[in-house]
Amino acid sequence: MKRRDFVKVGAVGSTAILIESCNQKPTKDIQKTNTLIKSKKIQAISTWNFGVDANKVALIELKNNGTALNAIEKGLNTTESDASNSSVGLGGMPDENGLVTLDACIMDHEYNCGSVSFLQNIENPISVARKVMETTPHVMLSGKGAYDFAIKNGFNHKDLITKESFQKWLEWKASKEQKYPEINHENHDTIAMITIDKYGHIAAGCTTSGWAYKLHGRVGDSPIIGAGVYVDPEVGAACATGLGEAVIKICGTHTVVEQMRNGLSPSDACKVAVERIKKSNKDLSGLQVGFIAMNIEGKHGAHSMYSGFEYAHEDEKESKLIKSPYDFEWE
């Protein structure tokens, strides 16, 4: 065959392939997602056992015709302001220099999102993140810029370290090994929450003081949209907890939501994200991560790397803690 004839045949073949690909129908999984019916059953899920109290506050808001976004903020404010919780906000564990630095993000059913990272001396970072979302053209503010923005918008300066967390930091500082504590059922991490309101709208958010005794300036997955939190109004939402570095590597919550888009259940979608983390990290010892997810039909689920992870669920009928499926037992 002459080169000119080959080019002609190739051009015709390419055109045929293009026409055929344009005429192809969406896959069954995509069609299935497109036919999901939005649930208008109000409910909330959140990470760890302290999510029970956060959910109760969120449900009060939802029962009073509040939006999913309002429920997220008010529910997470409860945990942020609880000085007995050493994972979030007031009383959060400090970094290596003895400073409490906070990360948070929030996202609604219209792809609007706001975030703060490395924020100090502000008790409720989730509220600052919402203010960033609603009053600025930006998604994330960080460090002193986030602090200055918060003060300018009426938030109060507050010393966040408690006597208990300060004493633990002193003991860690005096130890020879200065090991980072493992994230397990006894040493919790981020609180993250997903809600659905009576309008069928879904929202999500998370807030944390991060890894105890972390390097000064370290930021995890919690303030990163697509890592710590992601919402797609056509599909659902997902949140992460655990070792943020591992979650960031695979854009964890975006991965979960895309798996739900492809037809997987929330629990199975979370499992896929955990499997990807296993593949992207050579050393899994002590590497705890957990995901929670809810689709727009109101179905929810979770999966974690190690045992011990649980999430709270509440609707108008009941409130309960649910043990997450997992891959490994803690040794």
Catalytic residue set: 190
What backbone phi and psi angles, to 5 degrees, belong to 23? -90, -5
**204, 72 contact by CB (below 8 A):** yes
Task: Please say whether the beta carbons of 42 and 63 come within 8 A.
Answer: yes
Amino acid at 144: K
β-sheet bridge partners, residue 301 = 293
Give the span between the Cα atoms of 99 and 59, in whole angstroms: 33
> Which residue type is seen at 130?
R
In the structure encoding, which two tokens stand for residue 211, read together?
């890894």
Angle at 259 between CA 273 and CA 51, to 5 degrees: 60
| Cα–Cα distance measured from residue 266 to residue 37, given in angstroms and rounded to the nearest whole number | 15
DSSP characters over 40-89: ---EEEEESTTHHHHHHHHHHHHHTT--HHHHHHHHHHHHHT-TT-TTSS
Q: Is 178 left (phi over 0), alpha (psi -120 to 50) or beta?
A: left
Identify the CA nearest to 205 among candidates 289, 114, 140.
114
Spatial contact of 45 and 51, defined as CB atoms under 8 Å apart: yes
